[in-house]
Structure 1
């Protein structure tokens, strides 16, 4: 199943090669070049659920871990995200 998902993700990346893509589990989000859309982000901080109405600034990888940088400067590991705008 994971191999099928990775293959589909690669097809999406090829089709939208000039667009930033955020992949969380089976959810694939095409990100605009300029992040101006506010979203409701639910994520874990030390095991506690946090809610934030925010915008994304960047998505990056560091030492094989993926991170989301919010416009307020907060950094969240992608595997700590529970949902984005109600999508799990």
Structure 2
């Protein structure tokens, strides 16, 4: 589900034309810290999700709902691929 969360965040970044550097600055973290989380090289904490959500102007619950939808789509693809 973590990769779905980073995918949801990257989607919002794209729609808002935000770079990783800009999002990091808006969320109050370093560019390196943000990049690791967006690449799924390090886990996102709840504090990360809250600060990123605020920076994106997206409610936390909406971001979690979008993440759940992306994760469900991934599971469907995996099920189809195994059948």
TM value normalised by structure 1: 0.27
Which one has a larger percent strand, Structure 1 or Structure 2? 1
Which one has a larger percent helix, Structure 1 or Structure 2? 2
